[in-house]
């Protein structure tokens, strides 16, 4: 179960937010082998000055339209799969939401399976 947090600047359309959500979900399924329907996302819009993203870290030029995507997921995927995910998200967001590839910041947080509860107070993967 990935839990995805997507932080975007405020003022975007519902179509934009839907496209961002769909791209991230499809990339999870197609590159990181997440099962269909395993889709849990929190999308948060931020007023100016409330989403701080360095405009030039590591020599990458970012704009005020940059987004941050954080995915908490089960540990164990290879670097190759993670790199494919990063590329699929950046390319998909560029194609479907008009976001510059340079404006896509992604962080993965890996956890062990017993750290999840899908409801009823049970640890279904433990």
Instruction: Quick: pLDDT tens for 8-46.
Output: 999 999 999 999 999 999 999 999 999 999 999 999 999
Q: How many domains does the chain have?
A: 1
Q: What is the largest CA-CA distance in the chain?
A: 47
* Residue 10 belongs to some domain of the structure: yes
CATH number, position 27: 3.30.429.10
Domain with 80 in it: 3-115
Tens digit of each residue's pLDDT (9 = 90 or more) over 52-93: 999 999 999 999 999 999 999 999 999 999 999 999 999 999
Q: CA-CA distance, 124 to 126, in Å (whole number)?
A: 6
Phi, psi of 69 (to 5 degrees): -120, 120
The answer to the question of residue 37 being in a domain is yes
Both tokens of 85, joined, read: 């995910």
Q: Is 123 among the domain residues? A: no
Rounded to 5 degrees, φ, ψ at 119 are: 140, 165
Catalytic residue among 2, 35, 48, 55: 2
Q: What is the pLDDT of residue 77?
A: 96
pLDDT value at residue 42: 98
CB 75 within 8 A of CB 110: yes
59 lies in a domain? yes
Residue 120 lies in a domain: no
Whether residue 48 lies inside any domain: the answer is yes
Q: Is residue 86 part of a domain?
A: yes
Q: What are the C-alpha distances in Å from 56 to residues 60, 69, 98, 103?
A: 5, 18, 20, 11
Clarify whether 9 is annotated catalytic.
no
Instruction: Report yes or no on 121 lying in a domain.
Output: no
């Amino acid at each position: 179960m990935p839990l995805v947090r997507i932080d975007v600047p405020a003022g975007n359309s519902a179509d934009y937010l839907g496209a961002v959500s769909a791209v991230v979900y499809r990339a999870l399924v197609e590159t990181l082998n997440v099962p269909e329907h395993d889709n849990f996302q929190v999308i948060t819009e931020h007023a100016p000055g409330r989403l701080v993203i360095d405009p030039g870290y590591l020599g990458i030029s970012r704009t005020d339209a940059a987004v941050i995507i954080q995915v908490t997921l089960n540990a164990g995927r290879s670097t190759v799969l993670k790199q494919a995910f990063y590329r699929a998200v950046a390319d998909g967001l560029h194609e479907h939401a008009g976001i510059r590839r340079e404006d896509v910041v992604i962080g993965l947080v890996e956890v062990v399976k017993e750290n999840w509860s899908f409801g009823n107070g049970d640890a279904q993967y433990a």
